[in-house]
Amino acid sequence: MSDTYPKRPVYLNLLRIRLPVGGVVSILHRITGVLLVLLIPVFLFVLQYSLANNEAYVRVAASIGSTGGRVAALILLIMLAHHLLAGVRHLLFDVDIGIGRIAARRSAWLVLVVMAILAIVSGGCLLL
């Protein structure tokens, strides 16, 4: 068998694989999903602490308002927005919207472009 077929190249070198744009959006959806799951306990802790008493609430509000807190909020917003937008794209695939190759590639670029605009605008609002 192996003599009759030419040896096919196997590209498992991640640096040599050129992931299509849909693949980029998809893997980012997965990475942001895992990171957001890891942040659930942090969210619960902050929520619980902010409800405890006035001093705790003031401390939470001050932390979120500080430069570090704003950067963290921006990162959280970007992760959440990407996961949401890519997720909506996948939900539309489920109901047969945009499943052609060209349409899927276009919607993947759309997700990335909207994310870039959102990152710039929300970054400006939160950090400037």
Partner 1 sequence: MNTRNTGSAGSGLGEWILQRLSAVYLAVFLLWLIFHFLSSPVPDYAAWKTWFSQGVVRLGFALFFVSLLIHAWVGMRSVFLDYLKPLWLRFLIQMLMGLGLLAMGLWAAQILLVEAVR
Residues near partner 1 (CB under 8 A) are: 30, 33-34, 37, 40-41, 44, 47-48, 50-54, 57-58, 80, 84, 87-88, 91, 94
Backbone angles phi, psi at 11, to 5 degrees: -100, 90
Q: Nearest distance from residue 75's CB to partner 1, in Å?
A: 16
Per-residue tokens: 61: 């509000």
Closest contact distance (angstroms) between CB of 105 and partner 1 is 23
Q: Which is nearer to partner 1, 83 or 108 (CB)?
A: 83
- Measured from the CB atom, the residue of 2 and 54 that comes closer to partner 1 is 54
